[in-house]
Amino acid sequence: MTNLQKAFYRVYQKVMFVFMLFLDWSEPQTLTGPGSIKKLPALIKEKGLSKVLIVTDKGLMGLGLLNGLFDELTKTGIGYVVYDGVQPNPSIENIEEARAMYVENGCQGIIAFGGGSPMDCAKIAAARVVRPNKPVEKMRGVMKILHPLPPFFAVPTTAGTGSETTLAAVVTNTKTHEKNACNDPVLRPKYAVLDPELTVGLPPHITSTTGMDALTHAVEAYIGKSNVKSTLDYAERATKMIFENIETAYNDGKNIEARNQMLLASFYAGMAFTRAYVGYVHAIAHNLGGQYGIPHGLANAVILPVVLEAYGEAVYDKLAALADIVGITGDTAADKAKAFIAEIYAMNERMNIPKGFTQIKEEDIPVIVERAVKEGNPLYPVPVIYGKEEIEKIVRSLMITE
């Protein structure tokens, strides 16, 4: 990669940073605390809606997590239909099915209930409602939707994605195995419900990987070059809360306070990265997910310390600051930064997160690398700009041969 290309990318990022200053960054209206899901129907009624589409997945339906919401909607006199076909990496087909259900049933708003996959599916389904003549493939990139969504209520059941406060959604094209990132302020939910009781039943491996996903959001936002004071504050707060609570939530899933703290941390991390962006951890994770169906939180958890090591001294000062916040000590900024990265590796190991992936195939590496570079450049304001050579080296380091 030439210096001229790198200079162009930095100019592009500066322009985007200035543009972002003029957007509305007010927080979503939130309902928080144990049992807060039961307050949602009253809020929906207050907004004048009489029928909503609920977007979720079959796993959550099977667990009965939506039953309390269904009961309250019925009591409040709000009609609803349910689309529960969302896959772990939501596809264009999922989105079109959800959109059709919304239109055919005369819905007036959408409840996204679940982890990042139902959230992303619901966001782009809502975008397709207001942009019926624009296919999903044309929504890839930045500011490609532009029309306000129908009333949108986000209910996270994992403490990880932060989708309840972000302007991003990621869609999988099942024909090309490519993940398309859509970024537009209209995708940011206006309402969010943060109810820790909905996360109590999460299996330990989902708790760990989604929690590390939130940590990735906070750290990638923090070390990037498009921060403002609020995003730095959100990222610091999220990082501290995750370090203090993730392993408690992992080891004691019924600990409501740890679950509540992780939900809030995920929310704050989402507030940080939706404005300050992410980086190459996400670019690589998205494309491993698109190619092999690797869950996004798992991919981020494994890749995060590897990319931080690769950045080297370019991120030492920022990581040293985070180390101070979470109580990691060292004589120099470099010592603290390296200890911070080592602790991420150690957290992963204590929570049985692997160090790499057996799915990566030699013949797939060129397309994974090409797509990751395309996603990352020029949009992500990363500490160090990488081309194909550097990204390929990282991808290869993630390979585990059986």
Residue position matching structure tokens 């999220």 = 238
Note the pLDDT of residue 369. 97
The string of pLDDT tens digits covering residues 62-85 is 989 999 999 999 999 999 999 999
What integer best gives the mean pLDDT of the chain? 95
Residues of the chain under the 50 pLDDT cut: none
Q: Three-state secondary structure along the chain?
A: CCHHHHHHHHHHHHHHHHHHCCCCCCCCEEEECCCHHHHHHHHHHHCCCCEEEEECEHHHHHHCCCHHHHHHHHHHCCEEEEECECCCCCEHHHHHHHHHHHHHCCCCEEEEEECHHHHHHHHHHHHHHHCCCCCHHHHCEECCCCCCCCCEEEEECCCCCCHHHCCEEEEEECCCCEEEEEECHHHCCCEEEECHHHHCCCCHHHHHHHHHHHHHHHHHHHHCCCCCHHHHHHHHHHHHHHHHHHHHHHHCCCCHHHHHHHHHHHHHHHHHHHHHCCCHHHHHHHHHHHHHCCCHHHHHHHHHHHHHHHHHHHHHHHHHHHHHHHCCCCCCHHHHHHHHHHHHHHHHHHCCCCCCECCCCHHHHHHHHHHHHHHHCCCCCCCCCCCHHHHHHHHHHCECCC
Separation between Cα atoms, residue 81 and residue 66, nearest integer Å: 12
Note the pLDDT of residue 23. 87
List, in order, residues 6 or more apart from 12 with CB less than 8 Å away.
Answer: 378, 379
Q: Which two tokens stand for residue 245?
A: 């609570």
Note the pLDDT of residue 193. 97
Q: Which residues pair with 172 in a beta bridge?
A: 91, 179
CA quadruple 1, 300, 275, 93: dihedral sign:
positive
Q: Which two tokens stand for residue 103?
A: 């239109």
Note the pLDDT of residue 131. 97
Comparing CA positions, the residue from 181, 29, 225, 195 lying closest to residue 113 is 195
List, in order, residues 6 or more apart from 106 with CB less than 8 Å away.
Answer: 51
- For each of the domains in the chain, give its residue range(s) and CATH number, in order of start: 3-17+201-397 (1.20.1090.10), 33-199 (3.40.50.1970)
Amino acid at 74: T
Note the pLDDT of residue 402. 65
Note the pLDDT of residue 174. 87
Q: Which two tokens stand for residue 98?
A: 């959800």
The string of pLDDT tens digits covering residues 326-354 is 999 999 999 999 999 999 999 999 999 99
Q: Contact 111/77 with Cβ under 8 angstroms?
A: no
